[in-house]
Amino acid sequence: MKTLNDFDFNNKKALIRVDFNVPLNDSFEVTDATRIVSAKPTIIKILEDGGSCVLMSHLGRPKGVQEEFSLKHIIPKIEDILGVEVTFVSNCIGEEAEAKAKALQAGEILLLENLRFHDQEKQGDKDFAEQLSRLGDIYVNDAFGTAHRAHASTTIVAQFFPEAKCFGYLLAKEIESIKKVLEDGEKPVLAVLGGAKVSSKITVIENILDKVDHLIIGGGMTFTFIKAQGGSIGDSICEDDKMELALDIMKQAEAKGVKIHLPVDVIAADAFSNDANTQVVDVEHIPEGWQGLDAGPKSLENFDVVVNECKTILWNGPLGVFEMESFAKGTIALGDSIASSTKNGAFSLVGGGDSVAAVKQFGFENKVSYVSTGGGAMLESLEGKTLPGIAAILD
Ligand code: AMP
């Protein structure tokens, strides 16, 4: 696996695919600069080697050229974070981009305009990728968030750098973290899967059953399993057409020696509302008119024991409807358990979808070992897929 450390960037131009798809407010100011901060180590290493950086990214989902999606809005933030002046070019390909890239001196940064102003980016167009490739000597992919897409800048462009392509530090760290959990994890290995639906996590579950010793199933998914086993779930969310599958997962887990832990009690509410009346009930006896919206206290105690026994922990998906304060306690308690296990030496990876939002919202970001930067890309990795952006560098 080639990383930045395999190259000397002295007098070289690095063409770097970064993920600067950051949220902006109505005044076009960056409201969360995490992704820019995450790319900093890669950029600084190249500049310190005596090289220069051509940065390319997408921003939002523009339809053609749309001013509000211009990457020029984020220049002040990039300059602020990197402490280096940024030159900008208003088209990511073409004469001006090539001239500005050519004129770039050691220590300088050129930011290209939004790649998705061209439809060819998402189409993975080879000619467009070739035009991008003219802008650098070495291709660096540091964008995990788009590594599951075979777009021109994330995948296709790599073929124009057969000997000069590598992972940036951020992408390398993502790959190592996933490997540490799914392949080289110190036992016992635990996966906590929460979130709303079984259907969106089924491929993940099937893939990780071969990798883990314990599986905690929480969130809305719980009720498909409980109903399938004959429990009464009241008005809780349930996918009736996935009940067979749930039973099959239980069987597979047993055959593979994986211990499945489901909630034993829940916080049930008489409406899907923060102000609903609530009561703690046995997960298998939820009354009609009530729905389980969070894990109950006994479940959290059980989960805490498992989490603290395990040496490798993967967390994907909240244990309850954490967006509402009344049903966030389970997710917060799980975060506390994982933080404590991590403190005692476990490796913990949080990734995929809403769990990252939950971890940030409740301040667990620095208390777990690694928080992934890619939602969809992380889910696809957990499903066992080889991401095209990663395969293109390994080729
Ligand atoms: P996912 O994107 O699959 O990880 O699902 C996250 C969503 O699951 C969050 O928006 C939660 O509000 C939701 N969720 C978690 N637990 C429940 C539950 N018991 N009932 C309904 N939705 C839930």
Q: What domains are there in the chain, each with its CATH number?
A: 4-167 (3.40.50.1260), 175-382 (3.40.50.1260)
Q: Mind listing the pLDDT tens digit for each residue in 44-102?
A: 999 999 999 999 999 999 999 999 999 999 999 999 999 999 999 999 999 999 999 99
Smallest CA-to-CA distance from 328 within 385, 369, 267, 276 is with: 267
Does ligand 1 lie within 6 Å of residue 320's CB atom?
Answer: yes
d(CA 390, CA 395): 9
- What is the average pLDDT across 148-158? 97
Q: Is the peptide bond before 188 cis (omega within 30 degrees of 0)?
A: yes
pTM of the shown model: 0.90
Smallest CA-to-CA distance from 155 within 167, 145, 141 is with: 141
Ligand 1 atom at shortest distance from the alpha carbon of 222: 19
Centre of ligand 1 to C-alpha 354, Å, is 8
Are 51 and 106 a contacting pair, CB within 8 Å? yes
pLDDT of 21 above 90: yes
Of all protein residues, whose CA lies closest to atom 5 belonging to ligand 1?
A: 195
d(CA 374, CA 18): 12
Q: Which residues are catalytic?
A: 35, 197, 353, 376
Q: Mind listing the pLDDT tens digit for each residue in 233-280?
A: 999 999 999 999 999 999 999 999 999 999 999 999 999 999 999 999
Are 317 and 355 a contacting pair, CB within 8 Å? yes
pLDDT of 211 above 90: yes
Residue-level pLDDT at 1: 85
Does ligand 1 lie within 6 Å of residue 323's CB atom?
Answer: yes
Residue-level pLDDT at 227: 98
CA distances (Å), 60 to each of 56, 69, 134, 299, in order?
14, 6, 25, 40
pLDDT of 395 above 90: no
Centre of ligand 1 to C-alpha 140, Å, is 36
d(CA 222, CA 288): 17
pLDDT of 352 above 90: no
Does ligand 1 lie within 6 Å of residue 168's CB atom?
Answer: no
Average pLDDT, the chain: 96
Does ligand 1 lie within 6 Å of residue 274's CB atom?
Answer: no
Residue from 278, 321, 379 to probe ligand 1 pocket by mutation (most atoms less than 8 Å from CB): 321
Centre of ligand 1 to C-alpha 53, Å, is 40
Does ligand 1 lie within 6 Å of residue 124's CB atom?
Answer: no
pLDDT of 345 above 90: yes
Of all protein residues, whose CA lies closest to atom 21 belonging to ligand 1?
A: 220
Centre of ligand 1 to C-alpha 195, Å, is 4
Residue-level pLDDT at 373: 83
d(CA 381, CA 377): 6
- What is the average pLDDT across 287-299? 98
pLDDT-based confidence at residue 224 (cuts at 50, 70, 90): very high
Residue-level pLDDT at 374: 83
Residue-level pLDDT at 175: 95
- What is the average pLDDT across 339-366? 91
Residue-level pLDDT at 30: 96
Residue-level pLDDT at 354: 73
Residue from 354, 359, 372, 378 to probe ligand 1 pocket by mutation (most atoms less than 8 Å from CB): 354
Q: Quick one: tokens of 140? A: 């660096």
Does ligand 1 lie within 6 Å of residue 324's CB atom?
Answer: no
Does ligand 1 lie within 6 Å of residue 354's CB atom?
Answer: yes
Does ligand 1 lie within 6 Å of residue 340's CB atom?
Answer: no
Residue-level pLDDT at 360: 87
Does ligand 1 lie within 6 Å of residue 220's CB atom?
Answer: yes
Pairing relationship of beta strands 138-141 and 347-350 according to DSSP bridges: unpaired
Smallest CA-to-CA distance from 221 within 230, 211, 233 is with: 233
Residue-level pLDDT at 357: 82
Residue 130: Cβ-neighbour burial (10 angstroms; 0-12, 13-18, 19+): middle
- What is the average pLDDT across 125-149? 97
Of all protein residues, whose CA lies closest to atom 18 belonging to ligand 1?
A: 220
Cβ atoms within 10 A of the Cβ of 339, count?
20
